[in-house]
Structure 1
Amino acid sequence: MADTYDYVVIGGGMVADAAARGIRERDSSGSILILSEDVDQPYTRPALSKKLWTDPDFTPADNDLNTAADTGAEIRLETHVEGFDRAAKTISIDGGETIGYGRLLLATGGHPKTLDLPQDDRVIYFRTAADYRHLRALSGSGRHVAVVGGGYIGSEIAAALAQNDTRVTVIFPDADLGAATFPESVDKVFEKRFIDHGVALVPGRRLDGATPDGDGFVLTLDDGSTLKADGIVVGLGIEPNTGLAEAAGLEVDDGIVVDARLTTSDPAVFSAGDVANYPDPILGRRRVEHVDNAKEQGAAVGRIMAGSDEKYSHTPMYYSDVFDLGYEAVGKLDASLKTVEDWKDDDSVVVYYLDDGQPVGVLLWNVWDSTEKARKVLAEAHALTADDLVGQI
C-alpha cells in the first residue's frame, strides 16, 4: 500500500509554505506532504536579489520560512515527481515510490529561460537560493560579472552585484534600461542610477554565445562585438512548469488553468503561484510571478483545499528595489501603452497605463501605501478617462 497523505503539494517554494499555513487555519491535524526538487527548505525568494545583498544583518538563516516547524508538514527535498494518476489519486516519484493523496496542489512554479551557453559553474540562471550562494561565491573582489537581461530580475541582480564590490555589465535588447516598462521620464531616472553606480550598460544587444577563456569567458554579442567577464548571470524570466499537468490531462494555457477557487478541471487537484493561470476579479485571466500573489494565493488555496468555500479575490501587487529607488505596482506595466503621469515631487510619480483609453496598470514610483487605491482605480477603470486620473492617488 502506498503512503497516503490528506494534502500533497508538488513544489517547495513560497506557495507551498503559504498553502501549508492556509491548511492549518482550517485543519489542525491533516497530514501534509511537500515534495520539492530544491535542496533547501522553503525560503523567501525576493531576498535572493534584494535584502541578502543589501542588509548585512540579514542572513540566509533569517530567510528560512520555518515551514515544517510551524505547520508540521513533512518536506522531502531533492525529490523529482515523475507523474500522477488522477483516477488512483497517486503520485509517482523517482525511485519507484508511489504516494497517495486526498487533495493535490500543483505549485510547480517555473524554470529559467536559458541560452545556448557552456555548461559551466560560472554560468548562472538565477532562480534559487543555491543560485544566490553560487553567485555570492563568484562575485566581489572587483570581479566582472555580465548580467544578461535588463528586466525585473536582471536589473535587481545588477544593482545587488554593483553594491557588493563587483564590476557589472548589463546586456539587454532595449534602447534604454527599463525602456520596456517605464515611460521615458521615469526610465531616465532609473537608468541613471545604474550609470552613477558604475554599471556598464550595453543596450540594443543580445548575447550570441560565450567561450571559456582562462578563469572567465569571452562573450560574443549579436553585432559581433566581444567582451570579457569572470561570470555570467542570465535573468530572462521563467517558463511555467506545466509538464505534470499536461501529462495528467489537465487544461494548460500559459500555465495551469484554474477557476476562481484555484481548482483545475479535476476537483481534487489545485494549482497556485507562478504556474497558475487564474481569473483575477479586476484584471481578468492572468498568470502572476510575484511574491504577493504567491503568499495570498497559496494561503487561499490551502484554506480551500481544507474546506473553505471562498474564492480567490485578491488582485496582487508587486514591487522592486534597486539602489535607493523603489516602486510598487498593480496590473500591467508596458511602456508601449499610452501613459498618464502624475508627479508628486521631483522623485515621486504615479503612472497610469491605458489600453483603449482605460487604465490597466498603475506604477507607484517612490509612492507608498497606495496599492489599495491603485486597485480601486483599476476596478473602476470603465468609468474613468485619461482626464480623470491625475489626483486619483
Structure 2
Amino acid sequence: MSAEHRFDYVIVGGGMSADAAAKGIRELDRDGTIAVLGEEPTPPFPRPALSKKLWTDPDFGLDDAALATADSTGASVRLDTAVEVLDAEARTVTTAAGEQYAYGRLLLATGGRPRQVAGLEPGPRVLYYRTLTDYHRLRELAASHPRVTVVGGGWIGTEIAAALVQNGCTVTLVHPDGVLGASFLAPTLAQRYEDLFRTHGVQLLPGRRATGGRSEGDAVHVDLDDGTTLDSDVVVVGLGIEPAGELATAAGITTADDGSVIVDSHLATSAPGVWAAGDVATYPDRILGRTRVEHVDNATTMGTVAGRVLAGSGESYDHTPYFYSEVFGTRFEAIGTLDPSAPLVEDHLNDERSVVYHLSQDGRKVVGVLLWQVEDGLDEARTVLARQPVATGAGLEDLVGRIG
C-alpha cells in the first residue's frame, strides 16, 4: 500500500515536545514539510499551566498560554489522530483511521498516559488529569464549587488540590505518605508543605491509597485501602504517568523496562531515521546518568534539540533539566533524585528559604538538589551535582558548596 501522505518530518505526539521539535526543525530547515500527529482533540498546549497559572492568575488565559504550533512553523497539525503502527523499515506510520504517512525522519514524542486506579473508570466526574480537555471539564465542574476528592500526593495531585481549594471547592486530598510530600521532601520541608495545605483548607487523608470506586449519577464513591469509602461530587486522579512507548516496542525499537524509548546522546533510537524526545525518552544525562525526566524543562529543551537534530544539526542533548512545583505562592525547584530516606544535608538560609542536598546511601555523592524558595540557584546546583564524589567526613562547604 502506498502512503497517502508524505512529509519530510513526521512527529508522533501532540504535546510540548512536539511543538518544540517543530520549532527546532524550523531553526535549520525553513522549507521541509512537517506533520504533527496528535491523538488529543486540541493542539499542543503547555501542560504546567493546566494545574498552575490558569487557576491562580485571573489575568492569564488560554490565549496567553497558546503555543500556536501550526502558525509559527507551518506544520500540518492533525488532531484526533492516533498512530497505531510504525514500520521503521518502510518509514511509514499508520493511524487508527487507516491513513498512512510516509516520513523522511520521524520523532516519537508520545509522552505518557495517566496511571489509573483499578475499577475507577474515567467519566464525566472522574478525571485522570492531564490534557486541555480535562482542564475545560474540570473548570466547568468547579464552577458549582463541588466536593472534590483528589487522589495522589505528587506534583499533579497537590497542584490541582491547591488550585481547586483556591477556586471555592471543598477538597479532600488522599495520599500515601504520613506527612504530605514526605516521599520527596526533607522532613522539615514536608511539614511546611503540609501546613500550607491545611492552612488553606484542604482536608488531608494521609497514609491512604485508592483501591477502586464507582460513579452513580452526580456522585462518585472512592474506595480506600482501609475499607472506607469517600463520597464526592468530582474525583481528580493525579498519580503520574506511564511512558507511552508501545508504538516503539511493537516496531522492534529498543525500550526500557518501564516502556520508555531508549535513545543515545543525539536522541536517536535503535531504528534508523527514528528519534524520540520528552516524557517517553530515556537518555544519557551528562550529570545524572541514564534517566528519564517528565517535566516541562526537559520536554521543551529536548524537543527543540530533537528538532534541530532531525534537520541535520548533529548536536548532542547535553542539558540537565530541572523540575518545579508551586502551590499557594510557595515555589520549589529541583534537579536529580529526591530521596529523603537517604542521607540529607539541609541548609536553611532563613525562615523561608532552604537548600537540601540529597546524597547517595553512602553519603559520598550528591544525587539531587532541592531549592525551596531560592531563585537563580539551578546552575550552582548543576555544578554541585557534577562535583563528584565528595570527601568522607567533609563539612557543608567542602561537601556540596553553598547555594543561595
3-state DSSP of counterpart to 2:389: helix
- Counterpart position of 1:94: 96
Instruction: Establish whether residue 57 from structure 1 lines up as the match of residue 62 from structure 2.
Output: no
- Counterpart position of 1:196: 199
3-state DSSP of counterpart to 1:142: coil
| Alpha-carbon spacing, 1:87–1:218, altered in 2? closer, same or farther (3 Å) | closer
- Counterpart position of 1:314: 319
State which of 144, 154, 159 in structure 1 corresponds to 2:157: 154
- Counterpart position of 1:178: 181
3-state DSSP of counterpart to 1:91: strand
| Alpha-carbon spacing, 1:223–1:28, altered in 2? closer, same or farther (3 Å) | same
Counterparts of 1:389 and 1:230, CA distance in 2: 51
Q: Which amino acid aligns with 2:368?
A: G
Q: Given that residues 346 and 356 in structure 2 are in contact (C-alpha distance below 8 angstroms), is that contact kept between their aligned partners in structure 1?
A: yes
State which of 159, 172, 182 in structure 2 corresponds to 1:169: 172
Cα drift, residue 384 of structure 1: 5.4
- Counterpart position of 1:376: 383
Q: Which amino acid aligns with 2:311?
A: A
1:303-327 residue CA offsets vs partner (Å, 9 max, x unmatched)? 1111112100000011110002111
Q: Which amino acid aligns with 1:259?
A: D
Counterparts of 1:54 and 1:384, CA distance in 2: 45
Greater displacement, 346-355 / 211-220: 211-220
Q: Which amino acid aligns with 2:191?
A: K
Q: Which runs of 5+ in 1 are unaligned?
A: none
Cα drift, residue 128 of structure 1: 0.4
1:215-268 residue CA offsets vs partner (Å, 9 max, x unmatched)? 212332211223321110000000000111001100000310000000001230
Cα drift, residue 84 of structure 1: 1.5
Q: Given that residues 342 and 390 in structure 1 are in contact (C-alpha distance below 8 angstroms), is that contact kept between their aligned partners in structure 2?
A: no
Counterparts of 1:205 and 1:87, CA distance in 2: 48
Counterparts of 1:265 and 1:74, CA distance in 2: 27
1:358-381 residue CA offsets vs partner (Å, 9 max, x unmatched)? 100000000011100000000112
- Counterpart position of 2:111: 109
Q: Given that residues 112 and 239 in structure 1 are in contact (C-alpha distance below 8 angstroms), is that contact kept between their aligned partners in structure 2?
A: yes
Q: Given that residues 267 and 276 in structure 2 are in contact (C-alpha distance below 8 angstroms), is that contact kept between their aligned partners in structure 1?
A: yes
**After superposition, where does 1:69-80 map in structure 2 within 5 Å?**
69-80=71-82
Q: What is the total number of aligned residue pairs between the two structures? A: 393
State which of 31, 51, 69 in structure 2 corresponds to 1:29: 31
Counterparts of 2:10 and 2:158, CA distance in 1: 35
| TM-score using structure 2 length | 0.95
Q: Which amino acid aligns with 1:85?
A: D
State which of 190, 208, 211 in structure 1 corresponds to 2:211: 208
- Counterpart position of 2:373: 366
- Counterpart position of 1:243: 246
Cα drift, residue 214 of structure 1: 4.8
Counterparts of 2:305 and 2:156, CA distance in 1: 26
Cα drift, residue 119 of structure 1: 4.4
1:29-67 residue CA offsets vs partner (Å, 9 max, x unmatched)? 111000000111111110000000001111112221011
| Alpha-carbon spacing, 1:98–1:227, altered in 2? closer, same or farther (3 Å) | closer
Instruction: Establish whether residue 328 from structure 1 lines up as the match of residue 330 from structure 2.
Output: no
Counterparts of 1:36 and 1:191, CA distance in 2: 37
Counterparts of 2:18 and 2:297, CA distance in 1: 14
| Backbone CA RMSD of aligned residues | 1.3
Instruction: Establish whether residue 293 from structure 1 lines up as the match of residue 298 from structure 2.
Output: yes
3-state DSSP of counterpart to 2:90: coil
Cα drift, residue 88 of structure 1: 1.1
Cα drift, residue 99 of structure 1: 1.1
Q: Given that residues 342 and 391 in structure 1 are in contact (C-alpha distance below 8 angstroms), is that contact kept between their aligned partners in structure 2?
A: no
Cα drift, residue 213 of structure 1: 4.4
Counterparts of 1:316 and 1:323, CA distance in 2: 24
Greater displacement, 54-63 / 303-312: 54-63
Counterparts of 2:136 and 2:339, CA distance in 1: 32
Cα drift, residue 390 of structure 1: 6.0
| Alpha-carbon spacing, 1:360–1:144, altered in 2? closer, same or farther (3 Å) | same
Q: Which amino acid aligns with 1:188?
A: Q
- Give the share of equivalent positions with the same residue, in percent: 54
1:189-227 residue CA offsets vs partner (Å, 9 max, x unmatched)? 000000000100000111123243452123322112233
Instruction: Establish whether residue 281 from structure 1 lines up as the match of residue 286 from structure 2.
Output: yes
| Alpha-carbon spacing, 1:82–1:141, altered in 2? closer, same or farther (3 Å) | closer
Counterparts of 2:317 and 2:399, CA distance in 1: 28
Cα drift, residue 272 of structure 1: 0.3
Q: Which amino acid aligns with 1:51?
A: K
Counterparts of 1:199 and 1:88, CA distance in 2: 54
- Counterpart position of 2:49: 47
Q: Given that residues 329 and 362 in structure 1 are in contact (C-alpha distance below 8 angstroms), is that contact kept between their aligned partners in structure 2?
A: yes
State which of 15, 18, 24 in structure 1 corresponds to 2:17: 15
| Alpha-carbon spacing, 1:384–1:306, altered in 2? closer, same or farther (3 Å) | farther
3-state DSSP of counterpart to 1:382: coil
List structure 1 runs of 4+ shifted beyond 3 angstroms.
Answer: 211-214, 383-386
Counterparts of 1:325 and 1:217, CA distance in 2: 31
Q: Which runs of 5+ in 2 are unaligned?
A: none
Greater displacement, 285-294 / 204-213: 204-213
